Structure 1
């Protein structure tokens, strides 16, 4: 990350964001090289601050109610190359290097692996690695 520590330490940049009522902001992870959209997740103030400080994507897991460091279980970390805020100040874009080439918990490159065809959602992208091999069979 090319940010100065003064910028990261200052709460001012976090205050510029239009957080939802529950203190979250949607974050889109995009491959920094190809532009491919990899996934969408939620961030709170702490996860966004940690992402900026650590240079690795940290999200807020709504289902678990806690911070989620991308790749903590799978090893498929996202190295953050750039953090952007949209014009309405309510969506974050993370330009990332996706370690291991897999962003989705289904073992695919991207979470956006289904397309609408003839009124049905059809999986069009292959599974790169079986999720049981990534996370173990629970």
Structure 2
């Protein structure tokens, strides 16, 4: 299975994660989730398989999170997923699925949990932060 990344090209973390996938020699399926949001079933599976709660995958910055009052604990998981379906920007990114599992790769280093570091080799993020140092 080729990895799948739910990607936002405007997000540095998402770009770094995609670059790591490509450097590992994989051909990831790139889903720009703001243009093609995941179905409810897929969204529920991503959340379940990542081991996170619906609340843990909500993005606050640059979203209608506060305007919708989502910090109020009254909202059920079902209702929160309804909000994500209506406003896909509420879903944090990037989610990545590989043969080894599903993770919200925030920070991008989380990808190493579901991809062999040896596959990637040395890797430096856009901002110059070294994720995997060069050997030797």
TM range (shorter): under 0.3
TM-score, structure 1 as length reference: 0.26
Structure with greater helix share of residues: 2
TM-score, structure 2 as length reference: 0.26
Structure with greater strand share of residues: 1
- Larger RCO, structure (CA 8 Å, separation 6 or more): 2
